[in-house]
Structure formats: C-alpha cells, structure tokens
C-alpha cells in the first residue's frame, strides 16, 4: 500500500523563533550542545520561553554523532525534570539525540504521555527536524533507527540560526541535503509526492549552497538552504534513501568522517552504479538522473549525457566547496582502510537505507564502490 505523510508543522522564516512564545507548555527541556551555548543560540531559544513564564532546563551535553551514553544522560535529565515539551536545538546530532531520548524512554515504558516535541535545526543538512530517522552510534558503528514516534510535532526553520555555521560545515551539511534529495528521487519507494520535493531540493542546493559557503551571512541563501534541507528530509522520510548513505554510515562510524562529507565522497560513484553508467546506462535511475539534469539546465539529450552531466555538476560543486575528492584525501591511510573494508561492507549491506536502493548491490559491488571512492574523484 502506498502512503505519503507530512507530519510536523513547519514555522519558517527570519522571525520563526517567535513561535516559541506561543507554546501551550509549562516545563521545557532544551536539548542542545556546547557550541549552541557558545554561539548564544540556546539563549535565543530560552528567552521567548521564559517570557512565556515557562520553567526551562537545559541539557547541553550532546556530542557530534551521539552515542548511547549521551542518550542515557539525556534520559536521566528528562526523568529528573519531567518536561511537557522537549526542544532540540542544534544540528542533526542534537535532534537525533533528542529523538533517541524520547524513543528509548517510550520503549522502556517510562513515558505516560509523549511530550510535545519541537526541533530547531541549526545546520541545513540532515532534515532530521521532519524525519522519523535517528542515527545513533555504538562504539564505531552507526545505527539508523526509523520510527514515526520520533517525528517532531513542530519544526522551526529560522535562517538566523545558521549564519554562524563555519564554511566547512556548511559544505558538508549542504552535500548531505543534495544526497538526501538524490537518493529519495531514485529510491524504489519514490512517488510523485517525494519526487516533487526532491526535485525542488536539488534545484535549491545548486542555486544557493555555494553562496552560503562563500558568504555565510547571506540570509537569503541561508534561508533557501534551510528550506531545502527540510524539503529533502520530507522526501526521504517517505521514500527512504539508498547505498550512498549505507556506505557513508559505515565510513563515518569507523573513521569519524562527517556525515555529509562521507556522502559527498560516495555520491557520484553510486550514481554511476545505479545508472549502470559503464554499460547500457538504461536503468530507471539513469532516466531519473537525466530528468534532473534537464531540470538543472544541464546537457541531457540522452541518458549517458544526462547522467554524466549530473556527476560532473556534483564533482564541480564538491571542488568549489573545498571538499576532498576521495577518501584517501581525508587523511585515511590505505592500510587502515583496507583493514576496515570487510567490516564496513558488511555494515553497509545491513544498513536500513540499503533495501530501498534502486539497484541491488552485492557485497563485492559495495567493496568495489568503496575502493573506487578511496582513490578517485568519480567514475566519469
Ligand atoms: P552536527 O549536528 O554533528 O553538527 C556538526 C558541528 O557543527 C557540531 O560541532 C555542532 O556543534 C556545530 N554546529 C551546529 N550548528 C551550528 C551553528 N549554527 N553554528 C556553529 N556551529 C554549529 O552535524 P549535522 O550534519 O547537522 O548532523 C550530523 C548527524 O546527523 C550525524 O550523526 C548523521 O549521521 C545524522 N543524520 C541524521 C539524519 C536523520 O534523518 N535523523 C539524516 C542524516 C544524518
């Protein structure tokens, strides 16, 4: 049975934070990280809550790629304070940690009533504010949990909160948006609904990401990328993703490569694989990539040209954003990479994003994708 769902209310624009003044709650637990405290973003969120006479408790211990110990500490903070609203303020790591806290408490029967859940993203990347996904680390492995229970009730997209994102994180997270849209677009669960969102997100990224990278204070470009992130999130929470993400999760878990950057390293290789670029180049995914190239105004008179155009455009953007061309350029030694390869392939194979890949990949094919991505920029 086919289904498409859009859950959170989305408050967007340069005054979106004002929405916090109107929350019908009394006790707010703000889940965040130290960077948000340092940049004054936590304060920007707390002010309207206190103006609304709410009691506020802050848990600011989330670390990038949160693991189960962060979730456990967050659960403790929740149980001690008993909030009726949880507000996640941060990047994907913070929002995923807040989801992990709520989900684990509910699974353990420790929640009588689910608190209202607000997500305030401060990066334009994961789209976690509108997705049922949470990525949690355990030792060196990243696990993708998917459950609608974790969908926020309200997402607040205020571009003022992303102007402080440093250029290299703007680049990483922006490529994450592109990857979400591309993978949702060719997923075997894609629909007219998710396609419409994915197409818009891809266009917004190609139009505005470089401006965000070069001019971090460009509020117009920041707003467009912030919207693109949620639009791509709505596409993939419905259509799911593919093996770029599976390969990136295992690589990020093992070597600490930031999530968006790991996606950027794998993306063109996976496009070539999905399109069967080096053989017939006539798969359903090849046709869809070609349609996207045409939408972007790139040469696309046939599938080979269309797929090549898209891969080249991605490689050019990646270079303009100062991102490494391959895994080796991330400073990972070949011996370490080879030693981890079998484990990463096994993890990628069982990743929650793998079943929706438009083309099924064997372990040998996953290994080949890793090997190509280690040394070369793309398969063009
Ligand atoms: P992040 O949340 O890890 O943040 C990266 C760094 O940027 C952190 O040090 C953070 O403190 C800092 N930062 C965040 N906002 C900032 C701001 N406004 N100004 C200055 N610094 C700021 O990065 P991310 O890419 O947003 O999230 C990545 C995590 O999300 C990974 O664990 C990834 O696997 C996961 N993820 C989740 C989903 C989902 O749907 N739930 C989707 C994709 C990725």
Residue 176 near residue 125 (C-beta atoms within 8 A): yes
Q: Write out residues with Cβ below 6 Å of ligand 1.
A: 33, 35, 39, 64-65, 90-94, 96, 122-123, 125-128, 131, 133-135, 142, 161-162, 164-165, 169, 173, 176, 259-260
Ligand 1 atom with the shortest distance to the CA of 237: 40
Share of the chain above pLDDT 90, in %: 95
**pLDDT mean over 361-369:** 98
Which pLDDT score is estimated for 198?
98
**To test ligand 1's pocket by mutation, which of 40, 96, 180, 242 has the most ligand atoms within 8 angstroms of CB?**
96
Task: Measure 100 CA to ligand 1 centroid, in angstroms.
Answer: 15
Are 243 and 272 within 8 A, CB to CB? Answer: no
290 Cβ contact partners less than 8 Å away, ≥ 6 residues apart: 300, 302, 303, 305, 306, 307, 310
Q: Please tell me the predicted confidence (pLDDT) of residue 376.
A: 80
- 8 Å CB contact between 262 and 126: no
CA of 304 to the centre of ligand 1 (A): 35
Per the model's pLDDT, the better-predicted residue between 76 and 140 turns out to be 76
pLDDT of residue 353: 97
Instruction: Give alpha helix (H) positions in the chain.
Output: 34-38, 41-51, 68-81, 92-107, 167-186, 192-214, 219-239, 243-255, 259-275, 284-295, 303-320, 334-350, 363-375
pLDDT at residue 244 is higher than 90: yes
Q: Are 207 and 157 in contact (CB under 8 A)?
A: no
Which residue, chain included where needed, has tokens 């993400």?
A: 245
CA 123 – ligand 1 centroid, Å:
6
Question: For residues 94 and 71, is the Cβ–Cβ distance under 8 A?
Answer: no
pLDDT digits (tens, 9 = 90+) for 264-278: 999 999 999 999 999
The protein residue whose alpha carbon is closest to atom 14 in ligand 1 is 91
CA 238–ligand 1 middle distance (angstroms) = 21
pLDDT tens-digit map of 281-299: 999 999 999 999 999 999 9
Q: Phi and psi (nearest 5°) for 326?
A: -150, 175
Q: What is the mean pLDDT of the chain?
A: 96
pLDDT tens-digit series, residues 220-230: 999 999 999 99
Quick check: helix, strand or coil at residue 28?
strand
The residues with which 57 forms a beta bridge, in sequence order, are 29
- Percent of the chain's residues with pLDDT above 70: 99
363 secondary structure, DSSP code: H
Atom 27 of ligand 1, residue of closest alpha carbon: 92
Find, among 175, 86, 77, the residue nearest to 124 by Cα: 175
> What separation in Å is there between the alpha carbon of 375 and the centre of ligand 1?
27
Q: What confidence score (pLDDT) does residue 129 get? A: 98
* pLDDT at residue 378, rounded to an integer: 61
Model pLDDT, residue 259? 96
For residue 254, give every residue at least 6 positions away whose Cβ sits within 8 Å of its Cβ, in sequence order, or none: 140, 340, 343, 344
Q: What is the pTM of this model?
A: 0.97
Q: Given this model, what pLDDT does residue 67 score? A: 95
Mean pLDDT within 347-361: 97
pLDDT in tens, 287-341: 999 999 999 999 999 999 999 999 999 999 999 999 999 999 999 999 999 999 9
| pLDDT tops 90 at residue 2 | no
What stretch of H or E contains 135? strand 133-138
3 state DSSP class of 30? strand
Confidence of residue 377 (pLDDT cuts 50, 70, 90): low
Q: Using 50, 70 and 90 to split pLDDT, how confident is the model at 8? A: very high
Residues 6+ apart with CB under 8 A from 213: 167, 170, 171, 174, 320, 321, 322
CA of 91 from ligand 1 middle (Å) equals 4
pLDDT score of 1: 76
pLDDT at 380 exceeding the cut of 80 = no
What's residue 219's pLDDT?
Answer: 98
Q: What is the largest CA-CA distance in the chain?
A: 64
């Amino acid at each position: 049975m086919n289904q498409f769902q859009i859950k959170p209310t989305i408050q967007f624009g340069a005054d979106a934070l004002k929405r916090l003044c109107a929350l019908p709650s009394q006790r707010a637990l703000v889940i965040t990280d130290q960077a948000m405290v340092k940049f004054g973003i936590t304060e920007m969120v707390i002010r309207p809550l206190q103006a609304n006479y709410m009691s506020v408790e802050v848990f600011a211990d989330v670390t990038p790629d949160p693991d189960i110990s962060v979730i456990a500490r967050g659960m403790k903070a929740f149980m001690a304070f008993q909030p009726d609203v949880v507000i996640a303020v941060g990047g994907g790591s913070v929002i995923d940690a807040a989801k992990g806290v709520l989900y684990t408490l509910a699974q353990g029967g420790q929640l009588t009533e689910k608190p209202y859940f607000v997500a305030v993203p401060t990066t334009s990347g994961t789209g976690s504010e509108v997705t049922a996904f949470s990525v949690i680390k355990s030792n060196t492995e990243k696990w993708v949990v998917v459950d609608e229970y974790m969908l926020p009730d309200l997402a607040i997209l205020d571009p003022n909160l992303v102007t402080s994102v440093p250029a290299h994180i703007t680049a990483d997270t922006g490529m994450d948006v592109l990857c979400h849209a591309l993978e949702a677009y060719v997923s075997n669960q894609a629909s007219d609904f998710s396609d419409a969102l994915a197409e818009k997100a891809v266009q917004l990224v190609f139009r505005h990401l470089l401006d965000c990278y070069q001019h971090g204070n460009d509020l117009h470009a920041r707003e467009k990328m912030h919207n693109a992130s949620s639009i791509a999130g709505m596409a993939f929470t419905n259509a799911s993703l593919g093996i770029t993400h599976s390969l990136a999760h295992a690589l990020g878990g093992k070597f600490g490569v930031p999530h968006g950057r790991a996606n950027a390293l794998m993306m063109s290789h996976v496009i070539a694989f999905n399109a069967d670029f080096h053989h017939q180049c006539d798969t359903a995914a090849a046709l869809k990539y070609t349609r996207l190239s045409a939408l972007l105004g790139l040469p696309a008179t046939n599938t080979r040209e269309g797929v090549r155009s898209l891969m080249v455009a991605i490689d050019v953007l990646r270079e303009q954003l100062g991102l490494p061309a391959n895994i080796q350029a991330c400073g990972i030694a070949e011996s370490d990479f080879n030693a981890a390869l079998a484990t990463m392939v096994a993890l990628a194979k069982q990743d929650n994003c793998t079943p929706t890949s438009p083309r099924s990949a064997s372990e040998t094919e996953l290994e080949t994708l890793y090997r190509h991505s280690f040394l070369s920029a793309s398969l063009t």
